[in-house]
A = this chain, B = another copy of it.
Amino acid sequence: MKYFEILDEMFWEFEEYRDINKGKGIRGKLITIINPKAQKLAAVVEAIHLASLLHDDVIDEADIRRGVRSINAKYGEHTAVMLGDIVYSRAFYELIDFGSEIAKIVSNAVYLLSKGELEDVKLSRFINLDKEKYMGMIYKKTASLIEAACGAAAVLAGLEKEPFMNYGKNIGIAFQIIDDLLDVTQDEETLGKPAMHDFFEGKTTLPFIYLFEQASEDEKEKLKSLYKRKLQESEILWIRKLMEKYGIIKKCYNEAKELVDKAKEEIKKFNMPQLEIIAQKVVEREF
């Protein structure tokens, strides 16, 4: 049975589960590329990812998840919290059968991603210009479960785990940097939400951190005055021009590309071309 089928079987008794948009299952895909027999492990990690999304949407008050109404929007926040707990706890229960090394790799990632979620909220209260803090947060929030998925699959296949974990960590961080870039460069129609929504929500993502580093005092003042404000079209264009002026987009893009190159390098000797294709796709998303 393929991992999406195992996942469905696990939670089909819960009617609300059937309305979850399960997305592309990238963590499961990575696991089954590294270890084609690890369908159950892939299902468990995808379950954990789903549970985290259920709680994320409550925390972010998101009404839409991948073009579909989110569970909190459809059934209420409380159902999303409860269903998230059900999915998390069942996943943990199943995880134990994979042995303590794998169970620890994955449950540690869940701890990190929960901490990352809290850090994300806290960093959004005021303008954060500390790159270290930002990178630490996106590692936890976005990359840690991808890192753990790859590591767990490797352990289960009897391969050394470090290269695969490094691969997962690097593509995870690169993915988030590109995501942050898209929020800055793309328009409302493409994004499905207002452009520069992150900045409106108080998130100074990598392009904003770099912009503040290079901007003049006047420009910084104006940027600060726009923080957490609904932006006019002209203000969005002004920020974009400023980013162009200082080469911010290129700089962030190159940083993501470097991470992807590092990721590919890590797993080169294992001859798994599909992993290289997935890494490449991370930086080839339209932006």
> Which A residues contact B (CB, under 8 angstroms)?
14, 52, 55, 58-59, 77-79, 81-83, 85-86, 88-90, 92-93, 96-97, 100, 103-104, 107-108, 110-111, 114-115, 117-118, 121
Contacts and interface: CB of A to CB of B under 8 A. Distances in A.
29 contacts: A14-B118, A52-B85, A55-B81, A55-B82, A55-B85, A58-B78, A58-B81, A77-B77, A78-B121, A79-B121, A82-B114, A82-B118, A83-B118, A85-B88, A85-B110, A85-B117, A86-B115, A86-B118, A89-B107, A89-B110, A90-B111, A92-B92, A92-B107, A93-B104, A93-B107, A93-B108, A93-B111, A96-B103, A103-B103
- Residue among A81, A108, A121 with most chain B CB within 10 A: A81
- Give the oligomeric copy count: 2
A150 B76 CA distance: 35
Given A52-B85, A78-B121, A96-B107, 5 more contacts: A14-B118, A58-B81, A85-B88, A86-B115, A92-B110
A100 B92 CA distance: 11
A206 to B, nearest CB: 23
Contact of A82 (B59, B79, B83, B90): B59
Contacts of A121: 78-79, 82
Contacts of A86: 111, 114-115, 118
A115 B83 CA distance: 8
A280 to B, nearest CB: 32
Given A79-B118, A118-B86, A100 B108 contact: no
A181 to B, nearest CB: 26
